[in-house]
Chain A
Amino acid sequence: MSTITLHDTHNNGHHDDHDHGHHEQSFITKYVFSQDHKMIAKQFLITGIVMAVIAMGLSILFRIQLAWPDKSFPILETFLGKWAEGGRIKPDFYLALVTIHGTIMVFFVLTAGLSGTFSNLLIPLQLGVRDMASPFMNMLSYWFFFTACIIMMSSFFIQTGPASAGWTIYPPLSALPKAIPGSGLGMTLWLASMVLFVVSQLMGGINYVSTVLNMRTKGMDLWKMPLTIWAFFLTAILGVLSFPVLVAGVVLLIFDRSFGTSFYLSDIVMGSQVLPNEGGSPILWEHLFWFLGHPEVYIVIMPALGISSEVISVNSRKPIFGYHAMVYSLIGITVLSFIVWGHHMFVTGMNPLLGGVFMITTLIIAVPSAVKTFNYLATLWRGNIRFTPAMLCAIGMVSFFISGGLTGIFLGNASLDINLHDTYFVVAHFHLVMGSAAIFGMLAGVYHWYPKMFGTMMNAKLGYLHFWVTFICAYLVFFPLHFLGLDGVPRRYYAFTEFEFMQKWVTVNIFVTWSAIVAALAQVAFLFNFFYSIFFGKKATQNPWESNTLEWTTPVEHIHGNWPGEIPTVHRWPYDYSKPGAEQDFIPQTVPYSETMLSNMPHDFEGNAESERIQREWDAKNAPEKADVHFH
């Protein structure tokens, strides 16, 4: 592959013979219906941020209800009208809040906002590609996502309110408007929004997979790809294979709701009305939903893991420890994530035999996760760590991944899950491992690639403030919730007032709510930093973090087609940081081995005897001490 002898500069594979970027674009084609992957990435990111702010606001609303169930907040009535009559949130609306909070966070922020942004931005830039395999489909992907967001939000403006059966919308609750008002028009909008969302994800995913497989620049073989790309690639595969199952489930639910079928419904009596549905089973929905739903949590966390790998390596000034192990563990997670969905269903009444099987597969998936964690720690060890805001967020991500991952060992154990299922323990677990960890991965990505996206730098000090307040508050919010769960407090309870034993947790709830409010306010620091720096931030240099990957070889000013001249050729893996013998502590992927004779190591040549011979001869002549170390 990348040997000294193969190095040449005049030929670059793909379609670089016509020059992009010099034709004028109208406002509409540049900023709105853009087909440029960098602009689409920014569209995904900003939409994701807006949705995150909305979902965070919803969470503050229901946290207020949980902390002060008896108090009245007139301001709530001002904004929410009949849903908070007398300044108190109603039970139905409380459930709508938790439902829409979950849906937005999982799908719109951590799936589209995370993968949509960074896959779009980095796949072409880090692989040396002019644009996505299908820029037009990429544009459609964003606009389907945008439409899905609008439809989801529109459900706040209808008479019966938004969907309120929980983000997993288990039928029959979600199928019968009589069971809960939110299962009327609100649920129809939820389902419509979700179908569009999946369309968007599929278009994006197919694009990512085909771009990664077919369009890499010269020299960029799979084992030279940065871990970010590996993560996005495997995430896209997961999405493409699992999202269609959700659509299948959703379509059947739409049939049940609107056309009188009985896929999920059987033996139901609402009040005194006997429903005619027979032969269906709600368990079917649970299987279909979690067949997507579990890969979905890896769709959320894998890009965050990939981003953290890159950020930690760059800012530790060290190669990521165990690159191959990192890739294989990602592959392991990808494969295993398809056969663990049943751990969400241990106590649904499905055959207990399945429970045993799913417990085994679930606990196996902890092994690759553990490998990743230890590899992060080994990467930090004896590093030379620069604490950029991105690096802080990546370390925070690792911390949350550990904390939340460990509680997964409890929940993945079917026997322990009997008492923990659907309690606050679960809430604490997934908010740490896929909520906080993924959000911190996303923030790390934003801080790290902001200069690439906007050509300006974010303010580092404001970034520190934002990180520390958010990091501390996230722990203050989610850590105590484990103990509510261990005391048997179920999730999605509107108030803790009806049970004597829960009242001792109200003070904890007040503490948690205040922490959540402080964490929410800390996001103002991020939002200000983000939007202010777009216009007034310090101008970025071409490679501000002294990173090896290809995106930093593009000019600061965006051009359509990414590189003004030829696409660079790749000669080495992306993690040659602090290599002994090198002049600087980083060697970009574009630097051929012939220019770094002093720092080359035998394994760099991957068994290419000719290159090894040349290197050995050079070493013998120029650096005898090095030759001794490496070749004898």
Chain B
Amino acid sequence: MAALAVLVTVFANTSAFAQEAAAGAAAAAPKQIDMVPIYKSVAFYTMLFLLLCLFIAIVGKAIRVYELTREAQDKPDSINWNTVNGVIFVLFLIAGLFGVYFEYTVHGHMLLPDAASEHGKKIDSMFNITLILTTIVFIGTHIALFLFSFFYRNTGKRKAYYYPHNNALERIWTIVPALVLTVLVLMGFLTWRSIFYKIEDPNNKPLSIEITSQQFQWTLRYPGADGIVGLKNYKLITGTNGLGMDFKDKNNLDDQNADEMVIPVNKPVRLIITSKDVVHSVYMPHFRVQLNSVPGMTSYFEFTPTITSEEMKTKVNDPAFQYLLYCSKICGSGHYNMKKVIRVVSQAEYEAWVLKQPKFINNDLRKEFNLPLVPDAAAPAAAPADSTATPAKDSSAVAMNKPALKK
């Protein structure tokens, strides 16, 4: 009883403090003129938190006093915390199920559109199968976990059921997951092989495009008329030769530079991925394409786009929609801003576009590599007349493309 008395006193004291604090707050309230700077101050929130702590302390003391009173009156079952926690588990289960439903429906509709590439469709269907399976397990196990917690809470009346093992049951829940996972593994394995081990169709040869990453931008290189991206060597990289192209290799002479990646629909595209400085990652989520670009190593990813940009705009009902290429491997302070626009167009549009793209080679580089200088009009390769476009012309070509994008 003495302890109780002390506690009551303590409780009284703390609540007195609380009243003082409340009174102080009330006194301050009428004087308020501009609360905005106060809401922005750290002290305000610190006070708020301390007040919350005080409140919790008071509630804690109140519960303690209540429990001790019950105890003093020989009524031991004051608050059954097992029941309290068991009930909260059930409430959490209900709220959680609603939350999951909300997430799946609301945030689940803010995601990437359907895959715009051939292999992407396989990935999407496998994703859906995996999602259905895991969701069933997720919901089922959680219902069991939280309902068991509620139903088998200690009530003081039962004894637990001594049940150390059941080999049949354990075999079932070893074998069933193993079988399900085998199916998933097989599907994943076959899809993986179909993505990375492509048999080249001689009638539909892939278009090679080289992507070179550096802090914090991408450089695209189209192969030109010969369809071959020429050799390069990082030791040749200079201010004028940003990729280190070796122009002694004649495959380089018609290679073109482009500001955005334009690719023809339904034609395989083979990305040749390299890096100049650190590891970056070529990430094109709409096409389900990702591969790191690693300095000192060339990697390849082949995919076939199936939906043009214009079709996708109507499909997602967003006139501003763009396919994007960006970096997904931490690469430095500009990591969050390495963007390249991709445009999927018809074969005809592509052919028209690619002719306008400037070549890498110019007279400065020709001098450097001791190649015969070419007067403006006559380009050596079987390329159109504007292939020796000057930098000024480059930017005008880019400028011409941009309004087209905005439409």
Q: In the complex the two chains form, is A415's CB within 8 Å of B279's CB?
A: no
Q: In the complex the two chains form, is A347's CB within 8 Å of B290's CB?
A: yes
Q: In the complex the two chains form, is A347's CB within 8 Å of B292's CB?
A: yes
Q: A377-B145, A461-B63, A487-B110 are in contact. Are A165 and B330 (CB under 8 A)?
A: yes
Q: Residue B185 at the A interface, CB < 8 A?
A: yes
Q: In the complex the two chains form, is A269's CB within 8 Å of B277's CB?
A: yes
Instruction: Report the nearest A residue to B298, measured CB to CB.
Output: A349
Which segment of A22-30, A32-40, A48-56, A398-406 sits at the interface? A398-406
- Chain A residues within an 8 Å CB radius of B337: 498
Complex Cα gap A416–B334 (Å): 27
Which segment of B10-18, B191-199, B259-267, B343-351 sits at the interface? B191-199
Contact indicator per residue, chain B 106-139, by CB within 8 Å of chain A (1) or not (0): 0110111000000010110011001101100110
Minimum distance in angstroms from A427 CB to a CB of chain B = 12
A: contact size bracket? 35 or more
Contact indicator per residue, chain A 496-532, by CB within 8 Å of chain B (1) or not (0): 1011110011001000000000000100110000000
Q: In the complex the two chains form, is A316's CB within 8 Å of B160's CB?
A: yes
- Chain A residues within an 8 Å CB radius of B138: 402-403, 406
Complex Cα gap A387–B192 (Å): 46
Selected contact of A377 from candidates B96, B107, B148, CB within 8 Å: B148
Minimum distance in angstroms from B379 CB to a CB of chain A = 28
Residues 459-504 of A at the B interface (beta carbon under 8 Å): 459-462, 464-465, 468, 471-472, 475, 479-480, 482-483, 486-488, 490-496, 498-501, 504
Interface residue count on the B side (C-beta < 8 Å): 114
Instruction: Report the nearest A residue to B335, measured CB to CB.
Output: A492
Selected contact of B276 from candidates A166, A269, A579, CB within 8 Å: A269
Q: In the complex the two chains form, is B123's CB within 8 Å of A364's CB?
A: no
Q: In the complex the two chains form, is A399's CB within 8 Å of B142's CB?
A: yes
Minimum distance in angstroms from B99 CB to a CB of chain A = 7
Q: Residue A542 at the B interface, CB < 8 A?
A: no
Which segment of A191-199, A351-359, A439-447 sits at the interface? A351-359
- Chain B residues within an 8 Å CB radius of A322: 164-166, 170
Q: In the complex the two chains form, is B123's CB within 8 Å of A418's CB?
A: yes
Minimum distance in angstroms from A339 CB to a CB of chain B = 14
Q: Residue A5 at the B interface, CB < 8 A?
A: no
- Chain B residues within an 8 Å CB radius of A382: 152, 160-161, 163
Q: In the complex the two chains form, is A267's CB within 8 Å of B108's CB?
A: no
Residues 75-101 of B at the A interface (beta carbon under 8 Å): 81-82, 84-86, 88-89, 92, 96, 99-100
Q: In the complex the two chains form, is A91's CB within 8 Å of B334's CB?
A: yes
Complex Cα gap A367–B328 (Å): 31
Minimum distance in angstroms from B164 CB to a CB of chain A = 4
Q: A173-B279, A419-B288, A421-B290 are in contact. Are A499 and B127 (CB under 8 A)?
A: no
Q: In the complex the two chains form, is A386's CB within 8 Å of B82's CB?
A: yes
Q: A464-B85, A479-B99 are in contact. Are A410 and B130 (CB under 8 A)?
A: yes
Instruction: Report the nearest A residue to B147, measured CB to CB.
Output: A380
Q: In the complex the two chains form, is B285's CB within 8 Å of A419's CB?
A: yes
Q: Residue B353 at the A interface, CB < 8 A?
A: no
- Chain B residues within an 8 Å CB radius of A480: 103, 107
- Chain B residues within an 8 Å CB radius of A180: 332-333
Residues 252-284 of A at the B interface (beta carbon under 8 Å): 265-270, 272, 274, 279-283
Q: Residue A384 at the B interface, CB < 8 A?
A: yes
Complex Cα gap A414–B184 (Å): 11
Q: A173-B278, A488-B283 are in contact. Are A410 and B127 (CB under 8 A)?
A: yes
Q: Residue A455 at the B interface, CB < 8 A?
A: no
Q: Residue B8 at the A interface, CB < 8 A?
A: no
Complex Cα gap A409–B137 (Å): 12
Q: A91-B334, A267-B295, A418-B195 are in contact. Are A371 and B173 (CB under 8 A)?
A: yes
Q: A92-B333, A385-B149, A399-B142 are in contact. Are A352 and B197 (CB under 8 A)?
A: yes
Residues 146-188 of B at the A interface (beta carbon under 8 Å): 148-149, 152-154, 158-166, 169-170, 173-174, 177-178, 181, 184-185, 187-188
Minimum distance in angstroms from B39 CB to a CB of chain A = 13
Q: In the complex the two chains form, is B163's CB within 8 Å of A416's CB?
A: no
Complex Cα gap A370–B181 (Å): 11
- Chain A residues within an 8 Å CB radius of B331: 173, 179
Residues 230-244 of B at the A interface (beta carbon under 8 Å): 234-235, 237-239, 244
Q: Which of B89, B162, B187, B239 has the most CB of A within 10 A?
A: B162
Minimum distance in angstroms from B251 CB to a CB of chain A = 20
Minimum distance in angstroms from B285 CB to a CB of chain A = 3
Complex Cα gap A270–B214 (Å): 9
Residues 91-105 of A at the B interface (beta carbon under 8 Å): 91-92, 95
Q: Residue A422 at the B interface, CB < 8 A?
A: yes
- Chain B residues within an 8 Å CB radius of A459: 60
Minimum distance in angstroms from B182 CB to a CB of chain A = 8
Instruction: Report the nearest B residue to A320, measured CB to CB.
Output: B164
Q: Residue A147 at the B interface, CB < 8 A?
A: no
Minimum distance in angstroms from B194 CB to a CB of chain A = 9
Q: Residue B58 at the A interface, CB < 8 A?
A: no
Instruction: Report the nearest B residue to A524, measured CB to CB.
Output: B53
Q: In the complex the two chains form, is A323's CB within 8 Å of B295's CB?
A: no
Q: In the complex the two chains form, is B142's CB within 8 Å of A415's CB?
A: no
Q: Residue B49 at the A interface, CB < 8 A?
A: yes
Instruction: Report the nearest B residue to A408, measured CB to CB.
Output: B134
Q: Residue A585 at the B interface, CB < 8 A?
A: yes
- Chain B residues within an 8 Å CB radius of A491: 328, 330
Q: Residue B208 at the A interface, CB < 8 A?
A: no
Q: Residue B42 at the A interface, CB < 8 A?
A: yes
Q: Residue B369 at the A interface, CB < 8 A?
A: no
- Chain A residues within an 8 Å CB radius of B65: none
Q: In the complex the two chains form, is A91's CB within 8 Å of B333's CB?
A: yes
Task: Please report B residues at the A interface, Cβ cutoff 8 Å.
Answer: 42, 49, 53, 56, 60, 63, 81-82, 84-86, 88-89, 92, 96, 99-100, 103, 107-108, 110-112, 120, 122-123, 126-127, 130-131, 133-134, 137-138, 141-142, 144-145, 148-149, 152-154, 158-166, 169-170, 173-174, 177-178, 181, 184-185, 187-189, 191-193, 195-197, 214-215, 234-235, 237-239, 244, 273, 276-279, 281, 283, 285-286, 288-297, 299, 320, 322, 324, 326-337, 339
Q: List 29 A-B contacts (CB under 8 A).
A: A91-B335, A95-B332, A173-B330, A265-B296, A268-B296, A282-B296, A316-B160, A318-B161, A323-B164, A323-B165, A348-B279, A349-B294, A349-B297, A363-B181, A364-B178, A371-B170, A373-B141, A380-B148, A381-B152, A382-B152, A385-B86, A387-B86, A387-B153, A413-B185, A414-B188, A486-B112, A492-B335, A499-B324, A500-B322
Task: Please report A residues at the B interface, Cβ cutoff 8 Å.
Answer: 75, 90-92, 95, 165-166, 170-173, 176, 179-180, 265-270, 272, 274, 279-283, 316-325, 347-349, 352, 355-356, 359-360, 363-364, 366-367, 370-371, 373-378, 380-387, 392, 395, 398-399, 402-403, 406-407, 409-410, 413-416, 418-419, 421-423, 459-462, 464-465, 468, 471-472, 475, 479-480, 482-483, 486-488, 490-496, 498-501, 504-505, 508, 521, 524-525, 575, 577-580, 585
- Given contacts A370-B174, A384-B159, list 13 more A-B pairs with CB under 8 A: A180-B333, A272-B238, A318-B160, A318-B162, A319-B164, A347-B290, A349-B299, A359-B185, A378-B169, A386-B82, A406-B134, A415-B191, A486-B111
